[in-house]
Structure 1
Amino acid sequence: MLGIAAFVQAQDKDSTLQDFVGKYKFPEGSVVSEVTVSVEGAGLVMGSSIGNSTLVKIGEDLFSITAYDGSAQFKRDTNKKVIGVSINAGGYALEGTKSDGIAIDKLHAVLMNRNARLMAR
């Protein structure tokens, strides 16, 4: 029984993390044009043209951007679907909207994760 409960909790956790996965686009002239959020291991990673950072959950839909001493507050619509993100990091405040290009976003996230792992070696 305990094994089944742990498995269900792990699945719930993974599906919750999947809510945040995708590409978030920012207005023209922002310090970055977009960020990509992906699942890596048991957590989330946010990547942009500036670099990558682990996201650590600190509240409901609120994460610490560890590499940049900042925060990411994800926004949901009335159907509880993640539709955007507010980022405060490095002295910048950004408001981004989630893109719906899921297949391309997942491929991009996989490539970014692979590159991040190679650079970390």
Structure 2
Amino acid sequence: MKKILLFAFMLVGFVSASNAQSAPTDTTVNQLVGKYKFAEGSPVAEVTVVLENGVLMMNSQAGSSTLEKSAEDVYVITQFQGTAKFTRDENKKVTGVTILAMGYELVGTKEPVSTVAFSIKKAVLLTPVVK
């Protein structure tokens, strides 16, 4: 009985360790996160790339989709049978995305992170509550 119990605990430990090691550690994924704007008149005005529970997602008014890596800076947009190719500048900073999906080619630019929005959020979070 003790051997079975020991085996069960070891099995749980190995499964937990293997799951922890398979979590995405790619810093490239974090560089892709952000908002991308497209030209006026495009079928989609903007998309937002987010990381939800370790899964890269693309959200827009057309819907949401997971992104699965197929090559360096190229991802499959699974729910729309398309691809997203992220572009970088000479400093390797992500600057935009080209989406090929459902017969459309959309070229978008990455919006810079708003320091004003960050400052406002920080100020709100740091404001003491007086009762």
Per-residue displacement from partner, 1:85-104 (whole Å, max 9, x unpaired)?
Answer: 00000111000000013576
| Aligned match of 1:100 | 112
Cα distance 1:41–1:86, how it changes in 2: closer, same or farther (>3 A)?
same
TM-score by length of 2: 0.68
Aligned to 1:79: 91
Aligned twin of 2:61:
49
SS of 1:18's partner is helix
Deviation of the 1:41 alpha carbon: 1.8
Q: Structure 2: how far apart are the matches of 1:102 and 1:22? A: 11
Alignment root-mean-square deviation, CA: 2.0
Q: Provide the residue aligned with 2:100 in structure 1.
A: 88
The gaps in structure 2 that reach 5 residues or longer are: 1-16, 118-131
Alpha-carbon offset, residue 10 of structure 1? 5.4
Identity of aligned residues (%): 50
Distance between the aligned counterparts of 1:68 and 1:86, measured in 2?
Answer: 14
Deviations 1:64-101 (A, max 9, x none): 00000000000000000000000000111000000013
Local SS of the residue matching 1:19: helix
Match of 1:113 in 2: none
Q: Which residue of the partner structure matches residue 125 of structure 2?
A: none
Q: How many residues align?
A: 98
Contact 1:22 1:102 in 2 (8 A): no
Larger RCO: 1 or 2 (CA < 8 Å, sep 6+): 1
Q: TM-score normalised to the size of structure 1?
A: 0.73
